[in-house]
Amino acid sequence: MYYLNQSVNSSFSIVEIKPGQFNSIEGLIRKSQLIDDLLSINQAIGFIKNKLDRNKVKIFACQNEVNDYIAFVILVAKINPYSFVKYNWHVSYLYVKNEFRRQKIAYRLMEKTIEYACFTNVEFLSLNAGVDNLSAQNLYQSLYFERKYFLANYYYYELNISDLIKSR
């Protein structure tokens, strides 16, 4: 692990969801109720699945000791406005089931996300956090994300992956 290596419950494992495995995580995505009202849940699921099939979405999930999915993070490729060939990753959704919260699972998922962003050599990893979601804001700031600006009811955060790679 690349950051603070906080103590975490080792009975959990982080796995990548491949296109052929999407159905195994779909139920948890639906239960999370993170999909907003712009799309119906079926349209949103279709959108995510289509992007995953085209390698424009990356999904990491956390499994407990009996291999049940208990958390996930969805990354969406975001076009870099300064380059036609470069892209960045944006964390669209991060969810941990209520009964598994406060066990540093979100931290581990974000750690995996940052490692993947470094591996793919993107410039930035971005995300939004609700202004009232203080635990998420604290998590992202503990991972050195910088709050850039306010957007409706969200704060926009970025982590400069290029600088992170240079500092290694």
Residue ranges covered by each domain of the chain: 13-167
Does residue 3 surpass a pLDDT of 70?
A: no
d(CA 124, CA 54): 21
- Class of the 13-167 domain? alpha beta
d(CA 48, CA 50): 5
Name the pairing type of β-strands 13-17 and 69-79. Answer: unpaired
| Predicted structure pTM score | 0.87
Structure tokens at 134: 């203080």
**pLDDT number for residue 9:** 56
d(CA 24, CA 1): 26
**pLDDT number for residue 39:** 65
What confidence tier does 168 reach under pLDDT thresholds 50, 70, 90?
low
Structure tokens at 142: 């503990």
List, in sequence order, every residue forming a beta bridge with 96; answer none if it has no partner.
Answer: 71
Tens of pLDDT, residues 125-163: 999 999 999 999 999 999 999 999 998 899 999 999 988
Cβ contact 96:133 at 8 Å: no
**pLDDT number for residue 163:** 82
Tens of pLDDT, residues 69-99: 999 999 999 886 676 677 899 999 999 999 9
Does residue 5 surpass a pLDDT of 50?
A: no
Structure tokens at 158: 């970025």
- Residue in the structure block whose two tokens are 């990354």: 75
**pLDDT number for residue 10:** 67
Tens of pLDDT, residues 21-46: 999 999 999 888 877 655 688 888 88
Label residue 88 left, alpha or beta by phi (over 0 means left) and psi (-120 to 50 means alpha): beta
